[in-house]
Every structure is written in structure tokens, then in C-alpha cells.
Amino acid sequence: MIDPFGRTISYLRLSVTDRCDLRCTYCMPLAMQFLPRAEVLSIEELDRVASAFVRLGVRKLRLTGGEPLVRRGLMTLVEGLSRHLASGALDEITMTTNGTQLAEFAGPLAAAGVKRVNVSLDHLDPATYTRITRGGDVAKVIAGIDAAQAAGIAIKLNAVALRHDNADHLVALAEWAHARGAELSVIEVMPLGEVEADRIDQYIPLTEIRARFAERWALTDLVRSTGGPARYVRTSEGGTIGFITPLTHNFCGGCNRVRLTCTGQLFLCLGDDADADLRTPLRASEDDRLLDAAIIAAITRKPERHSFDYGVKAPAVARHMSRTGG
Ligand code: SAM
Ligand code: SF4
């Protein structure tokens, strides 16, 4: 699959549910309205649509959400999709999780061929973590990270940089990650969907965060292209830190990815409303010809670049990150 701007689409992020056991302040409102279950693709449908993308050239699949580990039947999906790893059609199945249930799932995920997992962890202090996530228990997340590492799964930590909640803590979080042989990526908070908090107040540019890391370590830029908005540095003690800056960095030229929601809505760009309905062709016949044609047609409409902007009061993109998938 090659889009009109010459970019090869080889990476699918698949949201398996919009539901979550946490309510992170920057991600969703406390009284989040979840989608009616009838609209959500079944495990069999998720397998079919992911397999169509693999057939059309996707080499890397990331399961996300909402919280992927709260989706019933998730392991059936992962075990089913692992046939594409065995056949060589797929290079990697990864996941982004909040880690609250990772202790239970680490062994089965490793057995199904999952080698890397991103765990979102914004703070190590139990009370602050509970406040940011509105109810989460950081001890469970740490137990999940321990279990994943013991099962041989490489862990990358993701932290959203928040001016008031964790900007002063990110150096300590990086030290903690590096001491366990994990990388830390820091994410700029994005204007996705309405939440109670004021996004401009939450926002801190990662140039400020990088300056704080630079006070602690000498940083060397790494040349590593992921096709995404991440830039990496190596610290003078050998740890790796990523900076994910969709707002201040133009990464769109190398973009290799599309995102599918749990209702079968394909988003061609995280920061744009261009989409395509794949559920209708998926449900219209058992044969995959309509589905394949809908995917190929959608790729021709991938926007050249995102349209994020903090200059307006309303969110730049109305849907929450938990719908589109991280
Ligand atoms: N529940 C899983 C988790 O938290 O890892 C997967 C889904 S979550 C939507 C994926 C990632 O998006 C997380 O790392 C989360 O911190 C991040 N995220 C959520 N809302 C965001 C926002 N408005 N701006 C930037 N990152 C956001
Ligand atoms: Fe849930 Fe992840 Fe959103 Fe937090 S960031 S509310 S864990 S989906």
C-alpha cells in the first residue's frame, strides 16, 4: 500500500476497545461515554480486518485502546494473529497498555510471540499516580512490568509530559526505567477530545523537558527512524530517551501508519478527521474482496500532514485518544 505522497503504509494500530479501567485526566473525562457494544467489532471481525491489512502489506501491528487488556477474548485475538508471525507475513505484534493487568497477561502474551510492550506510566509516586489516572494503583503497574520483563518481553515506558503533574519527576522516571533496562519516551500532550482539564495549562513543550534531562546527563542524538513522531537521545550513562512531539515536530513526511478503531473506522492520520468505514464492507460479505477494496481506496485519501493546533479553544480533533488508539 503506497499513498498519494509516496509513503508505504506498513504499520497498523488497532484499537480493540474504547473502554478502560482508568480515567487519565488528559485522556478522557470521568463520565466518559463508551460506545454501544453492538457497534464494536467482534474478536473474529478484528482478526479478519487485521489479517486483511497484513495481506495488503502491513508488517507491524500494535494493539491499543482504550485499555487492550480489558477487552474480553483479547488472548484469542493475539494467539490467532500470531499465525502471521509464524508465516513471516508480519514482523511484530506489540501492544500499548496501562499495565494494570500485565502481571496476569505477560506469560500468555510472551507465549504468543509478543516481544515488546509499551507501558504508560506517568508517575511513580502512588498518590500522584492515583490522582493522574483517577483511581489507578501504581504497584499493579510495577508488578506488571516485572512480570513482563521476567517473561522476556522488552518494556518501553511512555509518559505524557504534564506541566503541573510530572514535569519535575521525569528525570527520576528516566533513571528508574534505565536502571531496569527499559527506555522512556516522553509524549507531548495532544488536543484530542474534550476533558475537564485545560489543555493549554497541561501542555509543556518537550524542549523544556529535554533541557531538564540535559542538566542531568549529556545527551547524544540517535539516528533511528520509526516512521513516527519520535526522536531519540542516548544519555551519558547509556539509557535511551524518546521525545514524541507531534505538535512541535513535523514528522508527517515519513509517516507509515494508519489507525483502526474498535468499531472499524479507519483513521488515516492521528491529527486529521479523514476516515473510512471498514465495518460495512466487513459485515457485507464473508468474502474479503469488498474489505480489501475499501482499505485500498482509503489509503488514497491519507492526508499529507496533520492539522493540530492549540490556537483554538475547542479540541483540534474532537475524538479522544482512547477512541483512535495511542
Ligand atoms: N490504555 C493504554 C495506555 O494508556 O497505554 C493504551 C491507550 S492510550 C490512549 C495510549 C497512549 O496515549 C498512552 O501512552 C497515553 O498516555 C496517551 N495519551 C492519551 N491521551 C493523550 C493526549 N491527549 N495526548 C497525548 N497522549 C495521550
Ligand atoms: Fe485509559 Fe490509557 Fe486513556 Fe489512561 S491513557 S484513560 S489508561 S486509555
- Bridge partners of 275, per DSSP, are 267
The whole-model pTM stands at 0.94
Q: What pLDDT, in 10s, does the model give residues 299-314?
A: 999 988 877 655 444 5
67 lines ligand 1 (CB under 6 A): yes
- How long is the chain? 326
| pLDDT given for residue 312 in this prediction | 41
Residue 105: in which H helix or E strand, if any? helix 102-111
Q: Which atom of ligand 2 is nearest to the CA of 322?
A: 8
Q: How far is the CA of 158 from the centre of ligand 1 (A)?
A: 9
- Bridge partners of 242, per DSSP, are 185, 232
Q: How far is the CA of 8 from the centre of ligand 2 (A)?
A: 29
Q: Whose CA is nearest to atom 26 of ligand 1?
A: 189
Cell of 321: 485518544
- CA-CA distance, 302 to 36, in Å (whole number)? 28
Looking at the chain, the number of H-run helices and the number of E-run strands are 11, 12
pLDDT in tens, the chain (326 residues): 999 999 999 999 999 999 999 999 999 999 999 999 999 999 999 999 999 999 999 999 999 999 999 999 999 999 999 999 999 999 999 999 999 999 999 999 999 999 999 999 999 999 999 999 999 999 999 999 999 999 999 999 999 999 999 999 999 999 999 999 999 999 999 877 788 877 778 899 999 999 999 999 999 999 876 666 789 999 999 999 999 987 665 678 888 999 999 999 999 988 788 899 999 999 999 999 999 999 999 999 998 887 765 544 455 677 777 776 66
Cell of 76: 484469542
Asked if the 11-324 domain carries CATH number 3.20.20.70, the reply is yes
Q: How far is the CA of 132 from the centre of ligand 1 (A)?
A: 12
Closest CA to 181 of 160, 156, 158: 156
Q: How far is the CA of 326 from the centre of ligand 1 (A)?
A: 5
Cell of 134: 483517577
Interacting residues of 276 by C-beta distance below 8 A, sequence separation 6+: 265, 266, 268, 294, 295, 297, 298, 301
What residues does each domain of the chain span? 11-324
Nearest ligand to residue 13 Cα: 1
Q: Which atom of ligand 2 is nearest to the CA of 23?
A: 6
| pLDDT given for residue 326 in this prediction | 65
